[in-house]
Amino acid sequence: MFLNTVITFLYYVLSAFIAFIILRNIIKTKSAQEAVLYCIMIIPFVLRVLRLK
Amino acid sequence: MLNKKTLVAIKMVSICLSVIVMALSGIDFYKHRNYKEPVVVSEYVTQVRKLSDYFADLKDTINDCNIYIFEGSEPGGTVLLIGGTHPEEPGANLTAELIVENLRVKKGKVIIAIRANRSASTVTRPGDAYPQFYHIETPWGVKKFRMGDRWSNPLDSWPDPEVYVHYPSGQLLAYMDIRNFNRTWPGKKDGTITEKTNYAFMQLIEKEKVDLFIDLHEAELEYPVISTIVSHQRGVDIAAMTSMILSSTEFKIGMEYSPKELHGLSHREVGDHSRAISLLYESPEPFLDRVRGITDEKLLLTGKDPFVMKAGQFGLLYEKIDENGWPIDVRVGRHVSTFLTTLEMWNEFYPDLTIDVEGVPRYKEVITKGVGYYFRNPSEVPKNRVFDE
C-alpha cells in the first residue's frame, strides 16, 4: 500500500509536469492548429491534477 | 502564414475556451461526487451507525457509509441487506432505500446498507454516455439520485495492478476488478479502500452475528446470470423455495449455486468466511447491455430499447424483453418481493431465528404505485430522521 501511495503521488507530479509542458508548447508554437490541439489536450491533465476526474 | 497578432489572438481564444470547458466539466464532476441523497429513515429504526464503527480504518473516508439497524421487540435472527455494490445498478440501492424508509421489524434484526460502496457511486462512465444523475417521481416532488459505476472511483483507489490477485484465494482476475466491490470479498485489512470496505462488512457480519446476508444486483440481458437468486451451498434450500414460491405466485425467478472455484463474489466468500448464509439477487437491466441504443436516463429507468429487443428476437439474450421494457418499478418490485419471500422461507427453516417484518410493499404494489410513492419527503420530518447517502 505504501508503494501505491508513492506511485499515486508520482502520477500527480507527472500529470502536472505534462500539463506544464503542454502549456509551454501552447505559448511557443507558431502553428494555430497546434495551439488549438494543445488547448484540448491540456484539459484532462488539469482535471487530474485538481482531483476532479 | 499567420501574422503574430492573429496567432496570439487565436491562442488567447483557445486558452479561454479550454478554461471554460475545464471549469464547466470540473464543476459537473465535483457536484456529482459531492451530491448528498437525503434518506428519511422509517420511524421504527433503532440505530444508525457508520461502517467505521466496525473497522476504524474507514473513518472519514468516502466509504464510511451509513448502517441502518432495525431491531424487533422480540429476539430472533439477523439479516444484512446491502444495495449499491455496483451503483450502475440503481434497482439495488433504490430497493435498499425503499426498505429503510418503510420497514418495521417485529421480531429479529434487519441491518441495511444503501450504498455499500459509496466510492463507486461518485463516478460514472462519460465515455459510455452514462447520465450523472437519475430522477424518481414522488408524491411530493422529484427525488434525485447519483448514477454510479461498477468500480470504485480511481480518485479513491489508484493505481490498479497489472493483474489483480484475489486475497486470500490467489485467483487471478482482471486488473480493474481490484476496484470491484463484488470481486474483493472477504476483503483485506490492509488492502485498497474497496478491499477494506469488504473487510469492514465482514467485521459487521461477525460482530452483529448476522445469520443471512443478501446482496442486491441488476444484470444485462446478455448475461446468463439474470432474474435469479445465486446461493451459497448453505442457502440453497431457502433460495430454491423462494424461487419456487415466487415463480408460482408473482414472477419467474431462478436459483443458482454459487460456483465453488469462483472467488471474490459475495455469494461465495461471505458464506465461506462467516457464519452467515449468503444470497445474491439479480434483476434485468437493459441499460447494461452492450447492444443497447441511446444510453440515457430514460433507458436507465424504463428499460426500453429497440436494439436489445432486436437481440432478443435473434435469441441472443437470457431474459425476455418486449416493448414494455424492464421499468425500474418492476425491477425494484422484484427485489422487495424476493427479500420478503426469502424471509418467509427463512422463518420456515429456522423458526428459532425468526425475522418478522412489515411495512414493505410487494411486487404488485410497487408496480401499481411506483417506487417513488414509498419515498418520504425530507422536509416534512424531524431532522434526526434524515441521513445523507
Q: What is the pLDDT of residues B295-308, one digit of tens each?
A: 999 999 999 999 99
- pLDDT of A53 reads 87
Q: How far is B354 from chain A (nearest CA, A)?
A: 43
Specify the pLDDT at position B370: 98
Please state, for a pLDDT cut of 90, what percent of chain B lies above it. Answer: 98
Cell of B279: 444470497
Buried (b) or exposed (e) across B182-194, using 16+ Cβ within 10 A? Answer: bbbbbbbeebbbb
Q: What is the four-CA torsion angle of B360, B362, B366, B369, rounded to 10 degrees?
A: -80
pLDDT at B184 over 70: yes
CB-nearest partner of B26 from A40, A42, A50: A50
First-to-final CA distance of chain A:
22
What CA–CA distance (Å, rounded) separates B134 from B140? 17
Q: Is B9 on the interface with A (CB under 8 A)?
A: no
Nearest partner of B58 among B203, B183, B207, judged by Cα: B203
Element (H, E) at B15: helix B4-34
pLDDT score recorded for residue B164: 97
User: Torsions phi, psi of B67, nearest 5?
Assistant: -120, 115
Could A35 and B17 be called an inter-chain contact, meaning their C-beta atoms sit closer than 8 Å? no
Other beta carbons within 10 Å of A43:
18
Count CB-CB contacts under 10 A for residue B105: 24
CB-based contact A43 B155, cutoff 8 Å:
no
A6 → chain B, closest CA residue: B159
Nearest to A43 by CA among A53, A34, A33: A53
Other beta carbons within 10 Å of B208: 17
> How far apart (Å, rounded) are the C-alpha atoms in residues A45 and A19?
6
Cell of B90: 440503481
How far out from the chain centre does Cα B155 lie?
Answer: 20
pTM of the model: 0.95
A52 has a pLDDT exceeding 70: yes
Mean pLDDT over B135-157 rounds to: 97
pLDDT in tens, B188-238: 999 999 999 999 999 999 999 999 999 999 999 999 999 999 999 999 999
ipTM for the predicted complex: 0.93
Q: Is the pLDDT of residue B13 over 70?
A: yes
In chain B, residues with a C-beta closer than 8 Å to the C-beta of A26 are 11, 14-15
* pLDDT above 90: residue B364: yes
Which positions in chain A touch B22 (Cβ < 8 Å)?
Answer: 43, 46-47
Q: What is the pLDDT of residue B214?
A: 98
Which candidate, B319, B322, B282, places its Cα nearest to that of B305? B322
pLDDT at residue B2 tops 80: no
**Mean pLDDT score, B15-41:** 96
Q: What is the mean pLDDT of chain B?
A: 97
Residue of B11, B30, B158 lying closest to A35 (CB–CB): B11
Query: How many whole angstroms separate alpha carbon B124 and alpha carbon B31?
Result: 13
At residue A2, the pLDDT reads 83
Question: What is the percent of chain B where pLDDT is above 70?
Answer: 100
Task: Convert the pLDDT of each residue in B61-117 to its tens digit.
Answer: 999 999 999 999 999 999 999 999 999 999 999 999 999 999 999 999 999 999 999
pLDDT of residue A3: 85
**Chain B interface includes A4 (CB < 8 A):** yes
Q: Are strands B212-219 and B74-82 parallel, antiparallel or unpaired?
A: parallel
Q: What H or E segment, with its residue span, contains residue A6? A: helix A2-28
Q: Find, among B379, B389, B385, B375, the residue nearest to B101 by Cα.
A: B375
**How does DSSP assign B303-355, residue by residue?**
---HHHHHHHHTT--SS---TT---HHHHHHHHHHHHHHHHHHHHHH-GGG--
> What's the sign of the alpha-carbon dihedral B248, B108, B349, B203?
positive
CB-nearest partner of A47 from B2, B22, B192: B22
Give the Cα separation of A24 and A21 in Å (integer).
5
Q: What local confidence, expressed as pLDDT, does residue B90 receive?
A: 98
User: Which 8-state DSSP code applies to residue B264?
Assistant: S
Q: What average pLDDT does the segment B251-276 reach? A: 97
In tens, the pLDDT along B37-75 reads: 999 999 999 999 999 999 999 999 999 999 999 999 999
Residues B98 and B371 sit within 8 Å (Cβ to Cβ):
yes
Nearest residue, CB atoms, B14 vs list A1, A11, A35: A35
In chain A, the residue whose alpha carbon lies closest to the alpha carbon of B17 is: A39
Model pLDDT, residue B11: 94
Q: What is the pLDDT of residue A1?
A: 75
Rounded (5°) CA angle B174-B259-B190? 50
Structural domains present in chain B = 35-388 (3.40.630.10)
pLDDT given at position B385: 97
